[in-house]
């Protein structure tokens, strides 16, 4: 007889994408761990932390927790004989600033934020609105669309193409689809699980495609500088030195992917959740100015990023447990976002909710560098959908989820 899910989760919890109950709805598992074993040692070789205060403490604590030895962490998944840097996808991931600790992280993030300034992000509002309307204009006469591929994936990718100076006629549907597919396939390495050979090969092939694509973007901007993000990354300086060609490429892929995984799933998860709670959709239709608040509640209630990993730098006491130096910790953002110790009625979806902030964007030195852009895209996207498609119908009966680390839908059919 198969072991029941609650017993399995409490014994050896893992964010297993092949667990159908976890894939369909991870929140019962999160609640079980949060209430019965909030600092849980999994037989898979890491700690699982689920309460808000503990998760926040981990992501904010740069002294005792960080990314650690990347090569060692990957070999924990595959075995000591695994040649980490023979795989382009892991070679790229090792050098992304998100996976760096100070001082390298400090330098890289500082150069990125020189280019991706708050002013540059805020100045994108009119263009984001134009892109949003253009995507809806293409489908509105047909009376229906598959929302994930026709809108949610395209919006953040088209916005990032625009910011990098890729012209709209070049960023056609075929290019957007190719970039989205490459990000989706290559970002499997972020899930920190041993990938089957076919998935790892696909991730390697797709990261090489992305490296070639962004190298060509930066080569073009060296010859023809513009007032765009690609040129700003080329010009960013720290004590006279800038980003190397390889660093610019890793940064561009990371920014593209972060927008895709966060914004696309925020929109897809959000539209599904709003129509599972039709009174909340009606509130948004009646007052589209609630869109920014709705985006925050979607990020809390149906987190597009459910977890993040850290490595303990020193022996640390957490929730009565000693986490030894070198041990890995899975900080469960999705579980923390529904902690009743912090959020009143945490399993109630309320787009007017006020109070403590969710942890979906992380915290501390690794707080998501693209958070403000994602928030603007989410707010504009939701407000525009509510204004232009107020009578929208969403098939919310049996959603098809594609993962447990990045939680998003494979498809979502809508009509109007």
DSSP 160-220: HHHHTT--TTTS-HHHHHHHHHHHHHHGGGGG-SPPPHHHHHHHHHHHHHHHHHHHHHHHH
Average pLDDT over every residue of 55-66: 96
Cα dihedral 204/210/216/217 (nearest 10): -160
Question: Which pair of tokens denotes residue 235?
Answer: 């010009």
Q: State how far the Cα of 329 lies from the Cα of 313, in Å rounded to an integer.
A: 11
The confidence band for 3, taking pLDDT boundaries of 50, 70 and 90, is: low
Q: Is the peptide bond before 319 cis (omega within 30 degrees of 0)?
A: no
The confidence band for 7, taking pLDDT boundaries of 50, 70 and 90, is: confident
Is the Cβ–Cβ distance between 371 and 157 less than 8 Å?
no
Q: State how far the Cα of 180 lies from the Cα of 174, in Å rounded to an integer.
A: 10
The confidence band for 176, taking pLDDT boundaries of 50, 70 and 90, is: confident
Q: State how far the Cα of 184 lies from the Cα of 194, in Å rounded to an integer.
A: 17
pLDDT > 70 fraction of the chain, expressed in percent and rounded: 99
Query: Do the strands 409-411 and 413-415 form a parallel or antiparallel pair, or are they unpaired?
Result: unpaired
Average pLDDT over every residue of 288-305: 96
Locate tokens 């795989």: which residue?
Answer: 87
Question: Which pair of tokens denotes residue 182?
Answer: 């490459």
Cα dihedral 188/193/196/198 (nearest 10): 10
pTM of the full structure: 0.93
pLDDT digits (tens, 9 = 90+) for 378-406: 999 999 999 999 999 999 888 999 889 88
pLDDT for res 333: 97
Task: Give the phi and the psi of residue 350 in degrees, each rounded to 5.
Answer: -140, 110
What 197-202 contacts at long range (C-beta under 8 Å, 24+ apart), as own/partner pairs, is 200/87, 200/89
What does the DSSP 8-state code read for residue 260? Answer: I
Summary mean pLDDT of the chain: 93
Angle, vertex CA 68, rays to CA 160 and CA 237, nearest 5: 45
Of 102-116, 132-146, 373-387, the range with the lowest mean pLDDT is 102-116
- Helix (H, G, I), strand (E, B), or coil: what is residue 317? strand
E strand intervals along 3-95: 39-42, 46-49, 65-66
pLDDT at 16 over 80: yes
Question: Which pair of tokens denotes residue 238?
Answer: 């720290």
pLDDT for res 1: 42
The residues pairing with 406 across neighbouring beta strands, listed in sequence order, are 305
Question: Which pair of tokens denotes residue 260?
Answer: 């895709």
Q: State how far the Cα of 297 lies from the Cα of 270, in Å rounded to an integer.
A: 9
DSSP H/E element including 32: helix 27-36
The confidence band for 259, taking pLDDT boundaries of 50, 70 and 90, is: confident
Q: Which domains does the chain have, with CATH numbers?
A: 5-415 (1.10.630.10)
């Amino acid at each position: 007889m198969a072991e029941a899910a609650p017993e399995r989760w409490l014994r050896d919890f893992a964010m297993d994408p092949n667990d159908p109950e976890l894939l369909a709805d991870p929140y019962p598992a999160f609640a079980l761990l949060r209430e019965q074993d909030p600092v849980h040692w999994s037989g898979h070789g890491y700690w699982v932390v689920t309460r808000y205060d503990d998760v926040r403490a981990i992501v904010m604590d740069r002294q005792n927790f960080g990314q650690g030895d990347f090569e060692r962490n990957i070999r924990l998944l595959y075995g000591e004989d695994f040649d980490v840097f023979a795989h382009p996808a892991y070679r790229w991931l090792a050098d992304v600033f998100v996976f760096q600790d100070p001082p390298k992280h400090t330098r890289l993030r500082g150069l990125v934020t020189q280019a991706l300034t708050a002013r540059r992000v805020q100045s994108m509002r009119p263009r984001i609105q134009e892109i949003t309307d253009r995507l809806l204009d293409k489908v509105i006469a047909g009376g229906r669309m598959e929302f994930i591929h026709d809108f949610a994936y395209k919006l953040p990718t088209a916005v990032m193409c625009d910011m990098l100076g890729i012209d709209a006629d070049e960023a056609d549907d075929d290019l957007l689809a190719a970039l989205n597919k490459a990000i989706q396939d290559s970002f499997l390495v972020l899930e920190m699980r041993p990938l089957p050979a076919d998935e790892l090969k696909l991730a390697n092939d797709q990261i090489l495609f992305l490296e070639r694509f962004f190298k060509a973007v930066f080569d073009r901007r060296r010859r023809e500088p513009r007032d765009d993000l690609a040129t700003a990354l080329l010009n960013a300086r720290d004590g006279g030195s800038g980003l190397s060609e390889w660093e610019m490429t890793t940064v561009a892929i990371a920014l593209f992917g972060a927008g895709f995984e966060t914004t696309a799933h925020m929109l897809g998860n959000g539209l599904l959740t709003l129509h599972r709670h039709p009174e909340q959709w009606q509130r948004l239709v009646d007052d589209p100015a609630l869109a920014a608040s709705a985006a925050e509640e979607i990020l809390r209630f149906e987190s597009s990023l459910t977890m993040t990993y850290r490595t303990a730098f020193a022996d640390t006491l957490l929730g009565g447990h000693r986490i030894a130096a070198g041990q890995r910790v899975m900080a469960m953002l999705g579980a923390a976002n529904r902690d009743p110790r912090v959020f009143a009625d945490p399993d109630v979806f309320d787009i007017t909710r006020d109070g403590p902030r969710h942890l979906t964007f992380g915290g501390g030195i690794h707080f998501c560098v693209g958070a403000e852009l994602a928030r603007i895209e989410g707010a504009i996207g939701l407000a525009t959908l509510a204004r232009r498609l107020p009578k929208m119908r969403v098939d919310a009966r049996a959603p098809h989820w594609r993962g447990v680390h990045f939680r998003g839908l494979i498809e979502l059919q809508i009509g109007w």
